[in-house]
Structure 1
Amino acid sequence: MSSSYKNNYKKFLRQTYLAFAGVVIAVPFIIDASGVGRPHASLTFNKTLADAVPARKDTVKPKALKVTAKPGVDTNVVSKDQDTTGAVSVDTVFIPKVSKDTLDAPVTYKAKDSIILMVPDKRFYLYGTASTKYKTIDLSAEKMNFDQATGVLEATNAKDTAGKIIGRPVMNDGGQSFESDTLRYNFTSQKAKIYNTRSQYGEGYIHSELTKKAADNTIFGFKNGYTTCNLDTPHFSFRARKIKVIPDKLVISGPANLEIMGIPTPLYIPFAIFPITQGQRSGILPPQYVVNQQKGMGLENGGYYFGMGEHLDLTLRGDVYSYGSWSLTASPTYRKRYKYNGGLNLSVANTRFGDPAVPSEFTKSRDFRITWNHSMDSKARPGVNFGASVNFGSSSYNRFNVFDYSTRVNNNIGSSITFSKTWQGKPYNLTLGLNHSQNLATRDVSISFPDGTFTVNTIYPFQPKEMVGTPKWYEKIGVSYNAVLRNQASFKDSLFGKQAMFDAMQTGMQHTIPVSFSIPILKTLTLSPGINYSEYWYTKKMTKRWRNDKIVSKDSIGGIDTSYQAGFFSARDISVSVSLSTAVYGMYAFSKNSKVKAIRHVLRPTISASYRPDMSSQYYYYYYYNRLHDSTRVSYFDGSIIGVPSPGAFGGINFGLDNNLEMKVFSRKDTSGNHEKKVKLLDGFGINGSYNLVADSFKLSNFSLYARTNLFDKVNISASGTLDPYATDGRGRRIDKFVWQQGKISLGRLTNASISLSTSFQSKDKKGQDKQKKIDSLENISNADAAMAAQQRQLQMMRNNPGEYVDFDIPWRLDLSYSLSYTNQLIPDSGGVIKRITQYVSFNGDFSLTPKWKVGLNSGFDFTNMQIAYTNMYISRDLHCWQMSINLIPFGTFRQFSITINPKAGILRDLRINRSRQFYDF
């Protein structure tokens, strides 16, 4: 088109004036053009233009349709008039002719600069941020032109005054997006030819010199590059001459070569298949090649994924090594929307180290690990809940098969399976469960099953159904019931499933019926009397005694003999108590000019009197534990999982004192007129104890102390300890004499104490709010499909292995924790006092050397053994679409060095370069 036509309104009118009447009838839009560019309203056009408007300047009068009807016949016309002869005259109706190749849907278009219609040439021209919509197709470009005769729409870009290309054509069709230099689309065949295009499919991008789009949206590309880098000039790509895209299924190519920064590499593949499907698809999981110093060369994490429908899938993965080690893991997951979801991991491993011909250097281990997680939607069955979190396996599984930091430093694993039911409108609650705890270092295992609790919430039997006025004191009497069933076995993991495991099983049941009520006194005091009855049921009775003739070893004679008696045994206990509690407030105000406004101290003293008769004397005996006939009083049910009644009678006083300390300081950040801020100095500090008036000795109990605070909202501090007010003799045994009676100014001997501190510091995260929203959305999403379940598993991996998923948006981060514990107690079997101090400090953090380099460290120090704890160091480099990580475990039983370079996109997670070295010291 000649440039003289653009924005020339008068010339355009002269050429189309004679054909204007026919255009009005045939074309359902009005052309609005002017001498200067301005936005146009959205219009529609179709292919009736070529047939409805003749290509000549004379006007064409549409042929009228005339209908004549007899009297009494309804002709369904717009209007009618009847003459005196009875004939009906009908208004004429004009029906325009419709072209045979008219489109089956309207086309909406608009342009920011101008729209020009060339009637003789049967062409449309759109200039300036033009856009066209037809069915599911949405096309935008700087310039467009449409040929009415061929039905082809062409979209191109343009250059601004600086020579920069603007307005590249972008086509969106049913979720597919194409960005190109030139695009031609045929409305009749619905095919397109696209030049220098860039399209996105899931996480991948395809760059093609020429692309053909078929009517069924199948794409054929020529001279292509596939990449997951979102830059116009990608850092890497797989170059292939021909490529085919099946929408929502696959990207298939012929022979392809990997290019990095535009440089071809020696890596060629005969073909490539990149899935772009949504939802489940079964397929092969390619293995990863590794080199292990102890296991040899190997292939890891290879397997197959089985998509079994909406509610179930299964992942099988295996490892195999050249020295004979292997492992297999089956991971089924299941889900039902609004009902339940969960996942199971079953792993078995066979490890072989060294040469079998050299027994001293050969190690063989067979291990297993079972994990299971199940959760139930709370709305599925109101009042009923079932959940499971199982982690069980052999103690050496982590030693040979797990290499991440958080798992290897954790020696304790546990499991819990619970079922609970609450009766709607009833005060009953039932909980059944299975619990398991395991220490991987000592190989001790404890399993409790069945483990049940039945509770009747407090009911008020003397309270009327409708309360009127102030309730009477007896109307506040409340009665409740609690029953606990325990069945537990503690053993070494090597005895699992054997007779010794069942021999170690203990069973017990406890019933508790408390009766209580409260009476306010003087508005500031609360008096709370109560009665508590407990009954214990046992199935095993234990007796221990010293035998001089017992052979412990060939060099030692004499030891403790333990015997068991099976049957049904019961014990009971009852107590009566009354308590009085209140709160006392104290305030100290400073001067007006002081930055500290005031300090408030809150004391909450509690005192109670209780009486418990001696109903347990028959359950205790004197246990002699050495040749000197030293003894202690123990119960036949000592060590029972439900406990034993306390020995002797008790009639005395229990006391406690809790403190809270906080202050008000001046703060400019406070938007109120007071400009004050509350600072907690002590969240809690207290002491508890009791005095037995009816005991013949040792009337005063041990003192329990505790303290907790959070300084500056940064440092968490908690401490606890126990003071024994009685002195000891030369062998560490308690004597009925207070410590302060020996001339010492002290409440007692410190028998145990602990203190822990923790804090965390980090720089501001620029994208913190967006990340938290994403994490919250992942956590709140129902596991209705496998994709969401996979996202949640990846989220958990990020939390458990921070070294593998570093955050480059946080310049630095530091976490510190310190713990100290002290014990000083008499061990009866050893006949002496053992003092033990353990303290440990742990630290982990990272910092950015540059915006793209990150260095991190996870470590600690054990002051008891004076050695550095398990340490993991890592360095990460952000390579935009790739990431490099270097991990180092420099010392310890397990040492490792590895370097990994891999793409960030999940679809290419198996395309990685990994080199690792692992060393074991046994």
Structure 2
Amino acid sequence: MHLNHKNNYKKFLRQIYLTFAGILIVIPFIINAVATPAPNAGVRFNKSFTDTVPTDTTRRPGDTSVIPAVKDIPVPSLQPELPDSLPESPDLTGTDTMYVPKVSKDSIEAPITYKAKDSIVLLVPDKRFYFYGTANTKYQKTTLNAERMNYNQATGVMEATTATDTAGKAYGRPQLDDNGQAFDSDTLRVNIATHRAKIYNTRSQYGEGYVLSKQTKREADNSIFGYKNGYTTCNLDTPHFQFNARKIKVVPDKLVISGPANLEIEGVPTPLFIPFAIFPITHGQQSGILVPSYIVNAQKGMGLQNGGYYVGLGENFDMTLRGEIYSYGSWMLTASPTYRKRYRYNGGLTLSFSNTRLGDPSVKSEFNRSRDFRVNWNHSMDSKARPGITFGANVSFGTSRFNTFNLYDYASRVNNNLTSSINFSKTWQGKPFNFTSSLSHNQNLSTRDVSISFPSATFTMNTIYPFQPKEMVGRAKWYHKLGIGYNGSLNNSVTFKDSVFGKAAMFDALQSGVKHSLPIAFSIPVFNNFTLSPGVSYSEFWYTKKTIREWRPNKRVSLDSLGGIDTTYQSGFFAARQASASISLATAVYGMYQFGKTSKVKAIRHVMRPTISASYTPDLARNAYYYLQYNRAGDSTRQSFFTSSSVGVPTDGRSGAISFQLDNNLEMKVFSKKDTSANKEKKIKLLDGFGINGSYNMLADSFKLSPFQIYARTNLFDKLNITASGNIDPYEVNARGKRVDNYVWNTGKLSLGRLTSATVALQTSFQSSDKKSKDKQQQLSELENEQSNDAAFQAQQRQLEQVRRNPGEYVDFDIPWKLDLSYSLSYSNTVLPDSGGTVKTFTQYLAFNGDFSLTPKWKVGVTSGYNFIENKLAYTNMYISRDLHCWQMSINLVPIGTYRQFSITISPKSGILRDLRINRSRTFYDL
């Protein structure tokens, strides 16, 4: 193409109009590297592009194919001139005839849109078209962008190339997007008729992988053949690693196949060769093998873990089968089926069985064998599936030694409790009724105690106002605010050692009960600033078993001790009841202290909310209590026959109590430059709440004053969260720790009483700013929205489990540093009713979790704690992570404690190459 063709563009077009006026001109071209496969398109890699140009594409009568419209350039009419009149038919009753315009043989199937920033030149005699300056063409689902394009109508070949600037540097590389597949190259040629293409120095993306080829041949069936190729998941122009192969074939949306390939890292070939490679690029669910990883365990020996098979059974169901095996004979099998119904529900089940062999079988004293199991089930229901009904489950149970031999992550090691819950609830829309039913389970792996509550059901009627008219006229009467409600509960519970599961001892401890509650209350304002709230309540308790504990002086507790308590059970139907009447008066008192105008502290406001109430409870449950002797000295205590009941016990004795509560909060207003209002003020909470409460029973024979409960909570500077609470007993105790009916302040001490329990907790968190926090929050919100609709929730749960097992592989390099601190101090002084002694306990613990970046690509982190009572570190997990762009390295270390572990992992970030992870682990634990 010469430049004079471009400069004489307008003169050239004028000649075209004068010479070829009235002649049909069809300007077809297509940029299509992926098109409908041609039948029997079996061609070789080096076959010519122009030897299969179609010979007959004549438009037939009735053909409604679209004739393309070429934009931005004046073009003569695409229709031939017709005669002024049609020939008259000799027979007026005959059939009319019409001329059908002839269409060019090389017409195309759909319109083409195109544009160029500089100019477009048409050479009609040569049947060529030239595009200059950021050219863009669109045909059906194919888009091509390049700096230069030209089309030869005679051969049907379209070519896209780069341009060169004054410095000799190429720019404007051809970018092809064909039905979602992207290609980047420096030269592209495509035959419109055969839909075959030849591409040079191309870079194509297939799923998570990229294929870089010196030459690429695309066939009509969409398959691609590459010559001198590299396959990688690194998205850089010069990748950190790639698999080099001389020949490669890509079957779109299925897989990439290559011959012998060599791994190259940072441009340096490695000694690692593979005879062939298959990289799946299929979208959606696919069954396949899960490659195991190598591990060394000091007690179990060398082994392979997490190997197995994934079974895809459709969009509603799948299953993962994994196994572990060790050289000393230990093994474990795990089956994890998951299920889902879009917009309905989703869930998953995990079944694990393990056989652990430790030590030498020939030495019985050193040999240990344990067969264990663990079952986990979770289920969630989409709230839109059935409005008003919810169902969910989170179940976890198993043997107490499963964690000891089979789990190594931090969260499982420090947690000695297994909990389960299954919940169903129904709400009647437009009505005040609610129903819930549940199953709960708690298992302590240290004490081996198991508690199960099933079935548990609650039916509630929210407060209704039967005397309130539907349409209020005038001022409301006091009885209009009279409300009545109902609460009924059914509960069956049992607590036992896991060794008696399913045996008679477990069923003997089973407790069943029903409780009915009927509250009646209303509130009315009095004296403008006070609220008066009278109320009456009645409760009925039904039991199926009575627990009787008796002192046996001849019962042998140990070799040198006689006397103990025997427990027996009596089945039947037993009832107890409780009633009470109460009235309360509450108000709020505000106090404000104003500072001077020049002070940065403008004001401090104190709010007090005192409440005083009186209640009366008759003794309706005297038959539910008895005196229990608990030692040889004859000391006794008042105890209920239904102490272990699942629905509670009514109050013993009559009560005429006056209760009080005082709640406070403290706020401060300070000067703030950031405040955009005219006041320039900022409100700071000094104390969110602090107060005290207690009661005095005027009808009790002794110990009329209840223990005082004090509490305080605040969040200083929106960083430090502080909570504190305690119980103070106002009565003295004797030398044996037994309470005496005498107030502490009567002995001359300036004190409210004896502190029986107290807790103080502090928690704070610090971290540097995250520039990508908004994007991450948006992704998290999108994931939460998808959880109820598909398998995203299950994927997230599996991801969280992986994070707990190996935190070093899942660090956030966008946050340079972070630190989480929590401190807790608790104290208790408990009187033992069976012995009369006291037990004082202290716990003081500091937990910390943090990480920091040595460089933008190196991260160091630690999770640990310190027990001040035992003066030793808690379970500690340290990790080091290195971001290698397309790879990541992590080192995890558990240096101290019963469980010690070391592991180093180097793995690609892409899920398609997850089997290439290199892992070296060693685990130690003391029995």
- Give the TM-score category using the shorter length: over 0.9
Aligned to 1:26: 25
Is residue 227–residue 237 contact of structure 1 (8 Å, CA) maintained in 2? yes
How much has 1:550 moved relative to structure 2? 0.8
How much has 1:732 moved relative to structure 2? 1.1
Q: Deviations over 1:751-777 (max 9, x none)?
A: 001011100000000111111111111
Aligned residue among 463, 468, 483 for 1:463: 468
Structure 2 counterparts to residues 336-735 of structure 1, below 5 A: 336-735=341-740
Distance in 2 (alpha carbons) for counterparts of 1:910 and 1:505: 51
Is residue 738–residue 836 contact of structure 2 (8 Å, CA) maintained in 1? no
Judge which range, 573-582 or 305-314, deviates more.
Answer: 305-314
SS in 1 for 2:814: coil
Judge which range, 307-316 or 359-368, deviates more.
Answer: 359-368
Which residue identity is paired with 1:204? G
Aligned to 1:324: 329
Distance in 2 (alpha carbons) for counterparts of 1:10 and 1:621: 115
SS in 2 for 1:732: coil
Distance in 2 (alpha carbons) for counterparts of 1:873 and 1:240: 40
Is residue 878–residue 894 contact of structure 2 (8 Å, CA) maintained in 1? yes
Is residue 343–residue 788 contact of structure 2 (8 Å, CA) maintained in 1? no
Structure 1 position 879 matched with structure 2 position 884: yes
Is residue 311–residue 785 contact of structure 1 (8 Å, CA) maintained in 2? no
Which residue identity is paired with 1:235? H
SS in 1 for 2:892: strand
Is residue 752–residue 823 contact of structure 1 (8 Å, CA) maintained in 2? yes
How much has 1:490 moved relative to structure 2? 1.1
Which residue identity is paired with 2:338? T
- Name the TM-score, length of structure 2 as normaliser: 0.92
Which residue identity is paired with 2:498? D
Between the aligned residues of both structures, percent identity stands at: 68
Aligned to 1:109: 114
Structure 2 counterparts to residues 53-202 of structure 1, below 5 A: 64=83, 66-69=85-88, 97-202=102-207
Distance in 2 (alpha carbons) for counterparts of 1:813 and 1:153: 56
Relative to structure 1, the CA distance from residue 479 to residue 547 in structure 2 (aligned partners, 3 Å threshold; closer, same or farther) is same
Distance in 2 (alpha carbons) for counterparts of 1:852 and 1:302: 31
Aligned residue among 756, 760, 765 for 2:761: 756
Aligned residue among 767, 771, 793 for 2:772: 767
Is residue 51–residue 99 contact of structure 1 (8 Å, CA) maintained in 2? no
Relative to structure 1, the CA distance from residue 10 to residue 838 in structure 2 (aligned partners, 3 Å threshold; closer, same or farther) is closer
Relative to structure 1, the CA distance from residue 494 to residue 68 in structure 2 (aligned partners, 3 Å threshold; closer, same or farther) is same
How much has 1:45 moved relative to structure 2? 4.8
Relative to structure 1, the CA distance from residue 69 to residue 800 in structure 2 (aligned partners, 3 Å threshold; closer, same or farther) is farther
Relative to structure 1, the CA distance from residue 170 to residue 787 in structure 2 (aligned partners, 3 Å threshold; closer, same or farther) is farther
The gaps in structure 1 that reach 5 residues or longer are: 30-42, 54-59, 78-89
Q: Deviations over 1:817-840 (max 9, x none)?
A: 001110012112232111101111
Aligned residue among 836, 842, 848 for 1:831: 836
How much has 1:353 moved relative to structure 2? 1.9
How much has 1:880 moved relative to structure 2? 0.5
Aligned to 2:41: none
Aligned to 1:87: none
Q: Deviations over 1:90-133 (max 9, x none)?
A: 9xx99753122321122222111221112222111111111121
Aligned to 2:12: 12
Relative to structure 1, the CA distance from residue 895 to residue 74 in structure 2 (aligned partners, 3 Å threshold; closer, same or farther) is farther
How much has 1:380 moved relative to structure 2? 1.5
Judge which range, 622-631 or 146-155, deviates more.
Answer: 622-631
Distance in 2 (alpha carbons) for counterparts of 1:220 and 1:243: 6
Is residue 332–residue 354 contact of structure 2 (8 Å, CA) maintained in 1? yes
SS in 1 for 2:108: coil
Distance in 2 (alpha carbons) for counterparts of 1:837 and 1:253: 67
SS in 1 for 2:623: helix
Relative to structure 1, the CA distance from residue 157 to residue 744 in structure 2 (aligned partners, 3 Å threshold; closer, same or farther) is same
Structure 2 counterparts to residues 208-227 of structure 1, below 5 A: 208-227=213-232
How much has 1:299 moved relative to structure 2? 1.7
Q: Deviations over 1:363-417 (max 9, x none)?
A: 2222222111111122211221111111222222222222222222222231110
Q: Deviations over 1:685-731 (max 9, x none)?
A: 11110001111211111101111111100011111110000011111
Which residue identity is paired with 1:19? T
Judge which range, 179-188 or 438-447, deviates more.
Answer: 438-447
Aligned residue among 777, 782, 794 for 2:782: 777
How much has 1:179 moved relative to structure 2? 0.7
Distance in 2 (alpha carbons) for counterparts of 1:788 and 1:477: 46
Aligned to 1:806: 811
Is residue 807–residue 879 contact of structure 2 (8 Å, CA) maintained in 1? no
Relative to structure 1, the CA distance from residue 423 to residue 177 in structure 2 (aligned partners, 3 Å threshold; closer, same or farther) is same
SS in 2 for 1:773: helix
Distance in 2 (alpha carbons) for counterparts of 1:45 and 1:94: 25
Relative to structure 1, the CA distance from residue 727 to residue 789 in structure 2 (aligned partners, 3 Å threshold; closer, same or farther) is closer
Distance in 1 (alpha carbons) for counterparts of 2:651 and 2:77: 106
Which residue identity is paired with 2:21? A
Distance in 2 (alpha carbons) for counterparts of 1:479 and 1:73: 95
How much has 1:476 moved relative to structure 2? 1.7
How much has 1:270 moved relative to structure 2? 2.5
Relative to structure 1, the CA distance from residue 787 to residue 159 in structure 2 (aligned partners, 3 Å threshold; closer, same or farther) is farther
Distance in 2 (alpha carbons) for counterparts of 1:543 and 1:17: 114
Which residue identity is paired with 2:366? E
SS in 2 for 1:769: helix
Aligned to 1:898: 903
How much has 1:425 moved relative to structure 2? 2.7
How much has 1:3 moved relative to structure 2? 3.5
Which residue identity is paired with 1:8? N
How much has 1:8 moved relative to structure 2? 3.3
Distance in 1 (alpha carbons) for counterparts of 2:915 and 2:790: 23
Distance in 2 (alpha carbons) for counterparts of 1:613 and 1:527: 23
Is residue 279–residue 785 contact of structure 1 (8 Å, CA) maintained in 2? no
Relative to structure 1, the CA distance from residue 392 to residue 76 in structure 2 (aligned partners, 3 Å threshold; closer, same or farther) is farther
Equivalences, count = 888
How much has 1:526 moved relative to structure 2? 0.8
Relative to structure 1, the CA distance from residue 752 to residue 456 in structure 2 (aligned partners, 3 Å threshold; closer, same or farther) is same
Is residue 254–residue 280 contact of structure 2 (8 Å, CA) maintained in 1? yes
How much has 1:21 moved relative to structure 2? 1.8
Is residue 405–residue 801 contact of structure 1 (8 Å, CA) maintained in 2? no
Relative to structure 1, the CA distance from residue 799 to residue 350 in structure 2 (aligned partners, 3 Å threshold; closer, same or farther) is closer
How much has 1:492 moved relative to structure 2? 2.1
Is residue 62–residue 94 contact of structure 1 (8 Å, CA) maintained in 2? no
Distance in 2 (alpha carbons) for counterparts of 1:635 and 1:689: 24
The gaps in structure 2 that reach 5 residues or longer are: 29-67
SS in 1 for 2:333: strand
Is residue 279–residue 786 contact of structure 1 (8 Å, CA) maintained in 2? no
Distance in 2 (alpha carbons) for counterparts of 1:903 and 1:592: 63
Structure 1 position 843 matched with structure 2 position 848: yes
How much has 1:619 moved relative to structure 2? 1.7
Distance in 2 (alpha carbons) for counterparts of 1:328 and 1:166: 57
Aligned to 1:303: 308
Is residue 483–residue 520 contact of structure 2 (8 Å, CA) maintained in 1? yes
- Name the TM-score, length of structure 1 as normaliser: 0.92
Is residue 418–residue 432 contact of structure 1 (8 Å, CA) maintained in 2? yes
SS in 2 for 1:6: helix
Distance in 1 (alpha carbons) for counterparts of 2:856 and 2:504: 61
SS in 2 for 1:359: coil
Q: CA RMSD in A?
A: 2.6
Which residue identity is paired with 2:205? Q
**Higher RCO by CA contacts (8 Å cutoff, separation 6 or greater):** 2
